[in-house]
Amino acid sequence: MTRADLAQEIFERVGLPKREAQEIIEIILKTMMDALKEGETVKISGFGTFTVRKKTPRMGRNPRTGEEIEISARRVVTFRPSNLLRVKSK
């Protein structure tokens, strides 16, 4: 599902113009991204929780050459679905 698909759903279900629906989606996603960049947790009740996890540097291997390389420390976003979503997806 894309942003355009989400805007189409809002248009069909709520009746907002597509342009306004797209703006709402952009505002929601930007707000979520800003919160995650700050290291905050984003919890959407009935859907799930997005959290930022810090990964430490580690040694890896280039599968093509076998050369060892260091994989730098980084932050990754993880998603944990709510129990309600887990039950519905089974």
Q: Strand 74-81 vs strand 68-71: parallel, antiparallel, or unpaired?
A: unpaired
Domains identified in the chain and CATH numbers? 1-40 (4.10.520.10), 41-90 (4.10.520.10)
pLDDT in the model for residue 89: 62
Note if the pTM is more than 0.85. Answer: no
Q: Convert the pLDDT of each residue in 29-40 to its tens digit.
A: 999 999 999 999
CB within 8 Å of 46: residues ≥ 6 apart: 82, 84, 85
Has residue 24 got a pLDDT over 90?
yes
CB atoms within 10 A of CB 62: 9
